[in-house]
Amino acid sequence: MRKEQIGLYHIDCPIVAVTSIDEDVNHYELYRSICEGLFRCGYSVVGVCNVENKIDGISNVNFPKALSENLGTHSKVVSVNHEFAQMIKKYSPDIIVMFVSEPIMERNAWTYNSCGEMMHVLCAAMDVDISIAMIPPHEVNEAFVNELEMIYKYRFSTELFRIFMSTVGFFWHIEEDSVDKYDIPENFILTQYVRNNIGIDVFRKGDNSIVSDIIAYLQEE
């Protein structure tokens, strides 16, 4: 494992980041589905996630504490890079899957600049090979997809591999300052929100197509 001139180790392991736009989506279920699917296919998986529920069969690891500490960006990047290098040395995984809990952007444009720091640090610390985004259920078009791809490419220096639409919605109670979550039928999302095959999939529990696509990517590399 060689050390680069800028003080970072080369992370020689494929990395998947499961990300979201807005917090009220079920991208943890997507993360869990990917980890379990890769494990069933015989891959040694390290799942990096701060959620307490652990996944059987894989190595469950928390994110480095530096991500949430009051440090400068460079210090966070170096610390995260070194901890991931040690993680690979300890577990020797075939692949790392990360659950990026902080949304990369909010639907409220005024809060955009306060989001995405976690993903920014992770992508600066190492190469993220596969980025997957989950978006809330709402009307989308090709311009939205193109803008999202540009955000991942130019802000995070990673290619957006797939986009999923959440099957969890919410209703905001302004007076009570609270959110009620509810499940949305898959066929409703397909007919109301996803049209003209613009590159967005609806998240389906038990659908292993994303796992097959990740494996195909790994075999090509």
Those residues whose C-beta lies under 8 Å from the C-beta of residue 219, and which sit 6 or more positions away, are none
Residue 147, domain extent: 16-220
Shortest CA distance to 29 belongs to which of 164, 138, 130, 185? 164
pLDDT tens across 138-186, in order?
888 888 889 999 999 999 999 999 999 998 877 665 566 666 777 888 8
d(CA 41, CA 25): 27
pLDDT at 111: 46
Give a yes or no: residue 199 inside a domain. Answer: yes
Report if residue 3 sits inside a domain. no
Task: Tell whether 7 is covered by a domain.
Answer: no
11 inside domain? no
SS3 sequence of 91-115 = HCCCEEEEECCCCCECCCHHHHHHC
- Contact residues for 178 (Cβ-Cβ < 8 A; gap 6+): 172
Number of helices (H) and strands (E), helices first, in the chain? 6, 9
Instruction: Give 112's pLDDT tier (boundaries 50, 70, 90).
Output: very low
Count how many domains the chain has: 1
Does 9 map to a domain? Answer: no
CATH number at residue 94: 3.40.50.300
Three-state SS at 5? coil
* Cα separation, 184 vs 168, whole angstroms: 6
The first and second tokens of residue 161, run together, are: 């591999």
pLDDT tens digit sequence for 121-141:
999 999 999 999 999 888 888
Residue 6 lies in a domain: no
More confident residue, 140 or 98: 98
Bridge partners (DSSP) listed for residue 173? 178
Q: With the C-alpha atoms ordered 176, 178, 179, 180, is the resulting torsion angle positive or negative?
A: negative
| Residues 155 and 117: beta-carbon distance below 8 Å | no
